Chains A and B, each alone.
Chain A
């Protein structure tokens, strides 16, 4: 008898089914962005409270500081990265039809990239022109 040290059948392997071997990276990235979002979210809520009822000029002046602009861009990056990782898991958990699942994941990721870019470009426009 030859020694077999894997649980997957050769047929399963040949069909390419099973783990894509990228799960731990995905899991870890979800945690890293979550940890980054802890201080960033606290700072953002605090900032929003200070900016309640602010005019456009106030927001621009607020983002005029390089420190705040950097934090804002970090918040945008961490938020949308965390969002697309989480939404991917949700879609993959509930949608079982392969093509629909693929289409939804791609559309969701594309939307996240576009929204993140709109946010980042807006923040940069406000901060750099003030």
Chain B
């Protein structure tokens, strides 16, 4: 026994010999399947978008305060840090959106067999990449 908790995992086998009970592998030793990575990314992007609501709040509140205040906020969004934050926000938003659609689909009991489950996961990743790039291309053309 390496740990006191191991005491709970000791048992006797049919020969009466003291043996260590088999333990299921811990989360850290699993290979990361795409579905598991996506599930965790959905949560992380959700928390990120929560922080991102500060951008929305800043944008609206500065617009409501004064013309100069809004200009200052707009030029912050146009700076390197601002653009980086906006990019992270847009990526998280598109991903959470696509992944959320997949979750709603699964909530209806669809797409739960292994093949479709992995196919939709891959589709979420591809759509996220393509849509984010398209949004930024459109934004940069308008800008």
Majority secondary structure, B binding face: helix
Query: Do B49 and A119 touch across chains, with their CB atoms under 8 A apart?
Result: no
Partner of A121, one of B54, B64, B70: B64
Q: For residues 64 through 111 of chain B, which have their beta carbon under 8 Å from a beta carbon of chain A? A: 64, 66-67, 70-71, 74, 78, 93, 97, 100-101, 103-104, 107
Chain B residues with CB below 8 A from A74, complex form = none
Would you call A52 and B142 a contact (CB within 8 A)? yes
Residues of A within 8 A of B36 (CB): none
A55 pairs with B64, CB closer than 8 A: no
B32 within 8 A of A: no
Q: A41-B97, A53-B143, A87-B50 are in contact. Are A35 and B104 (CB under 8 A)?
A: yes
| A68 CA / B61 CA spacing, docked (Å) | 17
How many chain B residues have a CB neighbour from A under 8 Å? Answer: 31
**Chain A residues closer than 8 Å to B50, beta-carbon distance:** 83, 86-87
Q: Are B135 and A119 in contact (CB under 8 A)?
A: no
- Nearest-neighbour CB distance to chain B for A60, whole angstroms, equals 7
Number of A residues whose C-beta is below 8 Å from B?
32
A54 to chain B, nearest CB (A): 8
Residue pair A122, B61 in contact (C-beta under 8 Å): yes
Closest B residue to A41 by beta carbon equals B97
Whether B61 contacts A56 by the Cβ 8 Å rule is no
Q: Does chain B have a CB within 8 A of A118? A: yes
Contacts A31-B107, A49-B135 supplied; 7 other A-B pairs, CB < 8 Å:
A35-B104, A48-B139, A52-B139, A55-B67, A86-B50, A115-B53, A119-B57
Cβ-closest 6 pairs across A and B: A122-B64, A122-B60, A56-B70, A125-B64, A52-B142, A56-B67
Interface positions of B (Cβ within 8 A of A): 43, 46-47, 49-50, 53-54, 56-57, 60-61, 63-64, 66-67, 70-71, 74, 78, 93, 97, 100-101, 103-104, 107, 135, 138-139, 142-143
